[in-house]
Structure 1
Amino acid sequence: MTQDHSALLAQLDALKSADGGAVFAELIRAGLQALIEAEATAAIGAGRYERADGRTVHRNGHRPKTVSTTSGDVEVGIPKLRAGSFFPSLLERRRRIDRALHAVIMEAYVHGVSTRSVDDLVAAMGVQSGVSKSEVSRICAGLDKEIEAFRTRSLAHTTFPYVFCDATFCGSSDLMGVLG
């Protein structure tokens, strides 16, 4: 328990001396790491350095994983096991962007921000690793599928007593006068 207490005190000192953005990034990193460790403990059947009859396998260190969050890049340690593999359900395999940043990218795309400008937006949020235009396109391709499914959904399940039609008319002109 003293080890955990001293680690918390060290984190508190680091948070006091850091700027605002670094504070949130460190809090997110510490929270993610604690959740990952708790899930690993549940999967193994015993905590770190704990002997238990229900233990299924032993830990074998950590491997680093960089996760891009809305507060910047944070590096967490994924526990390695001596037999088998472990990956936390909190994170997604082969994806370094968390769900909140994923939603920000899709929202920017919906509002008309170009795929190249999304990288500048993400960099302004503190993510140094950046997001490539192809990654933005891949993220938003799923959004295009959802929009198409919404547009082509069936409305036969209910009746509509009134149907309101709305249209926009844009006139055009040429050299001879106004058309339209």
Structure 2
Amino acid sequence: RNGSYFRQVKTQFGPIKVQVPRNRKGEFHQHTLPAYGQHTDTIESTVIQLYSHGVTTREISDLIEKMYGSYYSAGTVSNISKQFASQVENYHQRQLSDKFF
């Protein structure tokens, strides 16, 4: 209703444009990006977490677009996940406690 504005945020994998909603009373606080910060790695860590839990690259791309208003292609998501493939592999190979068996 009050519109939105766009912020340019520098990520590890290049700049993206994020759509931020406006509100009159100042009650909306975005928790994924710092208030006046222009650099974050939150999006990349979100991509890595989703990928390590088995979400496909296209689904991650759609989620990022819905959550942040920015577009990451499935190829970009794949490149991010390849860079952190060892973390994902360690997550999949971890020891599970006996309650899971």
Q: What TM-score do you get using the length of structure 2 for normalisation?
A: 0.52
The secondary structure found in structure 1 opposite 2:60 is helix
| Equivalent position amino acid for 2:25 in 1 | S
The secondary structure found in structure 1 opposite 2:34 is helix
Matched, 1:17 2:25: yes
Residues 26-41 of structure 1: pairs in structure 2 closer than 5 A: 28-30=34-36, 32=37
How many pairs does the alignment contain?
69
Moved over 6 A (4+): none
CA–CA distance in structure 2, aligned partners of residues 103 and 137 of structure 1: 13
Which runs of 5 or more residues in structure 2 are unaligned? 1-21, 91-101
Which runs of 5 or more residues in structure 1 are unaligned? 1-13, 33-75, 77-90, 92-97, 151-180
In 2 relative to 1, CA 19–147 (structure 1 residues): closer, same or farther, beyond 3 Å?
Answer: closer
Which one of the candidate residues 34, 41, 60 is aligned to 1:99?
41
CA–CA distance in structure 2, aligned partners of residues 147 and 117 of structure 1: 17
Q: Look at both structures and tell me which one has the larger radius of gyration over its CA atoms.
A: 1
Percent identity, please: 24
In 2 relative to 1, CA 24–147 (structure 1 residues): closer, same or farther, beyond 3 Å?
Answer: closer
RMSD in angstroms over aligned alpha carbons?
A: 3.0
Matched, 1:142 2:80: no
CA–CA distance in structure 1, aligned partners of residues 88 and 44 of structure 2: 17
Matched, 1:130 2:71: yes
| Equivalent position amino acid for 1:17 in 2 | K
Tell me which of the two structures has the higher relative contact order, counting C-alpha pairs closer than 8 angstroms and 6 or more residues apart. 2
